[in-house]
Structure 1
Amino acid sequence: MGRTNLGVILGGLLILMSCTRSNVLEHQSFTLPESGWERSHKLKGSWTTDKTTTDGSVVLRITHTPEFGYQNIYLTGMLNRDSEQVFSDTFSIQLARPNNGQWLGQSVGDLIQVIDTLPCNLSLNQNETFQFEISQHSRQANLEGIAEVTIQLVSP
């Protein structure tokens, strides 16, 4: 193998490694029952950070079945930093294209994953506690077809 080919291969590997470097500081996943996500079932958690971050993002990954009956999901979310509220809103995450109903996101086996970022920047100091609460806010008291919800704290 020539030096040029080896250089191209090593350069490609470096690019791939830099693309897979994770900037996820914390994450928590919630597997939901096949029977559905009850409106009263709030997904709650907290983290105490061991790093300082500025302009951090909160990312949600919604994993759903192809049988999910809607183009979007309505959620209510609340984020606190050491008991100080930094975000509270009801919002929608688009799961399918409105014009043709084709699923957005990535297929993972029999499921579809959609990733969205909440509209807030989060700055945390070392040893601060971040609390979150997410619940579904749809017309259905029991929302079927959502398999998992993951929340991540991501640094820039």
Structure 2
Amino acid sequence: MHKFLLILAACLLLSSCDDDAVFHEFKELPGSWQRDSAVVFKLQAPDTLQPYNAFITLRNDNTYAFSNLFLITQMQFPNGKTVTDTLEYMMAEPDGSWLGEGFGDLKESKLWYKENIRFNEAGTYQFKVMQAMRRNGDINAIPELNGIRDVGLRIERIKE
């Protein structure tokens, strides 16, 4: 019986492997996401000839008080060039039910970041993700954003 369970567990682990991802890392946020706190990921350039898709992955819980999310992202190339984007994502349906996958009060969302990108410079790329949520009528971002537990970056090969 033990051998059967061990073989079953090994099969499940191997079948759950994700061959498309060349990079996927989560960073846990300590309590709330501070306005001036960037989540930073560093990545060695994968194959410089192949195109990739990049995603922001988030885990949120029921304490997240908004139906959308604004992020500011920066992609810094090995030569120092930086590309900055402001992105908006829907986090909930109009009826208030959370988008994303998961059970209970924790949902994981895979959000498009960049499509068909090439890492044509060898070296280390740096990605920064910052929250830019504000309340209606406010100019400044919310100082502490609650309900986002983890922020991730995922780079996938494009299937042909």
Relative to the length of structure 2, the TM-score reads: 0.76
The answer as to whether partners of 1:51 and 1:126 remain within 8 angstroms in 2 is no
> Equivalent of 1:145, from 136, 144, 147?
147
Paired residue type of 2:156: V
Match of 1:76 in 2: 72
Structure 1, unpaired ranges of 5+:
1-12
Separation of aligned partners in 2, 1:135 and 1:74: 9
1:23 is aligned to 20
Query: What percent of counterpart residues are identical?
Result: 22
Q: 1:84 to 1:54 in 2, by over 3 A?
A: farther
Name the structure 2 match of 1:10. none
Q: CA deviation at 1:125?
A: 4.4
Q: Shift in Å at residue 88 of structure 1? A: 1.4
Listed one character per residue, the Cα deviations across residues 48-92 of structure 1 (whole Å, up to 9, x for unaligned) are: 13533532111111101112100011110011222223x311111
Match of residue 8 from structure 1: none
- Aligned-partner Cα distance in 2 for 1:108–1:49: 34
1:67 has 2:44 as partner: no
SS at the partner of 1:107? coil
Residue from 7, 26, 47 that aligns with 1:51: 47
Match of 1:130 among 125, 128, 146: 125
Read off the aligned partner of 2:95 and give its amino acid letter. Answer: N
Q: How does 1:6-45 map to 2 (within 5 A)?
A: 21-34=18-31, 36-45=32-41
Measured after TM superposition, the shift of residue 127 of structure 1 is: 3.6
Deviation at 1:43, TM superposition (A): 0.9
Distance in 2 between residues matched to 1:112 and 1:27, nearest whole Å: 17
1:93 is aligned to 2:89? yes
Q: CA–CA distance in 2 between the matches of 1:129 and 1:108?
A: 36
Tell me, in whole angstroms, the C-alpha distance in 2 between the residues paired with 1:50 and 1:100: 41
Query: Aligned with 2:72: secondary structure?
Result: strand
Tell me which moved more, 76-85 or 64-73: 76-85
Q: Number of aligned pairs?
A: 138
> How many Å separate the matches in 2 of 1:103 and 1:57?
24
How many Å apart are 1:30 and its aligned residue? Answer: 1.0
CA displacement 1:112-152 (0-9 Å, x = unmatched): 11111114432124843211111000111100011001101
